[in-house]
Amino acid sequence: MYTANTARYENMTYNRCGKSGLKLPAVSLGLWHNFGDNSAYSNMVDMCKTAFDHGITHFDLANNYGPAEGAAELNFGKILKENFKSYRDEMVISTKAGYYMWPGPYGDWGSRKYLIASLDQSLMRMGLEYVDIFYHHRMDPETPLEETMEALAQIVRSGKALYVGISNYDGPNLERAHAILKELHVPFIINQNRYNIFDRTIEKNGLKQKSKEVGTGIICFSPLAQGLLTDRYIDGIPEDSRIRTDGRFLKEGQLTEEKLANIKALNEIAKKRGQTLAEMALAWNLKDDYITSVIIGASRSSQILDNIKAIENTTFTEDELKEIDKYSK
């Protein structure tokens, strides 16, 4: 029987999520990769235990995480049942719906029918009565935003989620969603978006500033740019790297000579700070109070332990920030 580390809360930082009462660890564990049917179950268990033992209380999923779709939730549900049952109230578990899950017109996007049915399936896979945060995973160009937001409201009223969030929205649609959910008295507390040194989209589309104005937090996925913001590719592409083993999200063509030169320059800045490039990249995301948490992915427990070190120094000088900006293009 697993017994959690009694000192697990001593070194992690917890940030308030927007204007809500919920706090999230500065570093959260994402189950996007390495929790599907193509991964070793024993390694999944080890990573979850390592994360929780070091203060990572937030575990982030989605209905389509796998492979196959739903596999990450099934595996995580088994891990919860076998190891974390007595710790459920110390955990924040989130999931999402918005991408394709089943054939026909009701298994995708943002209709009330899809979102409610999908969450019911997610809860069944994980063996849970509720999730702490439920997200709409992406903007739907056809379903009225009012319908999608009213579905989130119904989900909260049903007790199947404590809070709601949106993912992959831009600033204007965040503002619209917030206005609707505020009128419906729904605890909308968080936005989940890609954000890293190389990808500044949320600065350009208004979401970063708008979230501050309306009082919602931001949690970032891909803070390491799918591994580019690490020292993994500085001396060539390893055979066991994501580029070689899974070319769906990071392709060899993205690692141009110019990009590699920028990665090497950023690595030198990190060395001067006494950090690895990965630590500095995570610290950069956490440098101001716009960002509540960063979601890390991992293929082994040692990566989780390395990434947690980022919270030890999240302060940057103006010169450092300017130099980082220089190599972020």
Q: What pLDDT shows up at residue 175?
A: 98
Q: What ranges in 145-300 are assigned the alpha helix state H?
A: 145-157, 171-183, 201-204, 207-214, 242-245, 257-272, 277-285
277 pLDDT more than 70: yes
Q: What pLDDT shows up at residue 234?
A: 87
CA angle 193, 328, 268 (to 5 degrees): 120
Q: What pLDDT shows up at residue 242?
A: 61
- Region 83-108: mean pLDDT is 98
Q: Are strands 58-60 and 27-30 parallel, antiparallel or unpaired?
A: parallel
State how far the Cα of 317 lies from the Cα of 68, in Å rounded to an integer.
Answer: 44
CATH architecture of 14-227+278-314: Alpha-Beta Barrel (3.20)
pLDDT per residue as tens digits for the range 112-139:
999 999 999 999 999 999 999 999 999 9
The mean pLDDT of the chain is 95
State how far the Cα of 82 lies from the Cα of 42, in Å rounded to an integer.
Answer: 12
pLDDT per residue as tens digits for the range 193-242:
999 999 999 999 999 999 999 999 999 999 999 999 999 888 766 666 66
If pLDDT is split at 50, 70 and 90, which confidence band does 256 have? confident
**Domain boundaries, given as residue ranges, for the chain:** 14-227+278-314
Task: Count CB atoms within 10 A of the CB of residue 10.
Answer: 9
Task: Count CB atoms within 10 A of the CB of residue 285.
Answer: 22
Judge if pTM exceeds 0.75: yes
pLDDT per residue as tens digits for the range 314-326:
999 999 999 999 9
**C-alpha torsion angle, residues 242, 246, 249, 251 (rounded to 10):** 70
Q: What pLDDT shows up at residue 184?
A: 98
